[in-house]
Amino acid sequence: MSTVTLRTRSLFPMEWPTFTWLPLSGPSIRIEEFLDSEDYVVRAELPGVDPKKDIHVTVVDGALSIKVERKEEQRTEDGKVVHSEFHYGSLYRQIPLPAGTRGDKVTATYDAGILEVRVAAGEAPPKTREIPVVVGNGKPAAVKKS
């Protein structure tokens, strides 16, 4: 079994996508990450979204991507526009998966405004595998072990 190695923190107190205090930078997805028994866990704070249609979680090239799109709803009360300070639009966060995690074994759950993504730790399946060749009679030919 392989071990999971969390990335070390840089000289900066935050990663580039989380500089939300800069003017015009817009909001970001705030996360926490940790190891829990045999899983690498990422928890994202996403209150007020519909997880079935607004949240998209993918794993591509060793990175976990979380994309959220919250569409504005026009609400009126007696024909007048109601004041709203809610944020609408798209949020995106990409987190590199640590060494020793399996991008092919990922689960995501959403409860009480928190998205929790679990990535299994352990040996990844080999990237190269021998494919048996089927011969004319429908039986695979013997595969040599290397």
Per-residue model confidence as pLDDT tens digits over 36-55:
888 999 999 998 888 988 99
Given a contact cutoff of 8 angstroms between Cβ atoms, the answer to whether 118 and 110 are in contact is: no
Report the pLDDT averaged over residues 115-128: 82
Per-residue model confidence as pLDDT tens digits over 25-34:
556 899 999 9
Residue identified by tokens 């730790």 is: 121
Classify strands 31-36 and 89-96 as parallel, antiparallel or unpaired: unpaired
Its pTM surpasses 0.85: no
Domains in the chain with CATH codes? 28-121 (2.60.40.790)
Going from the C-alpha of 140 to that of each of 129, 145, 146, the distances in angstroms are: 15, 14, 18
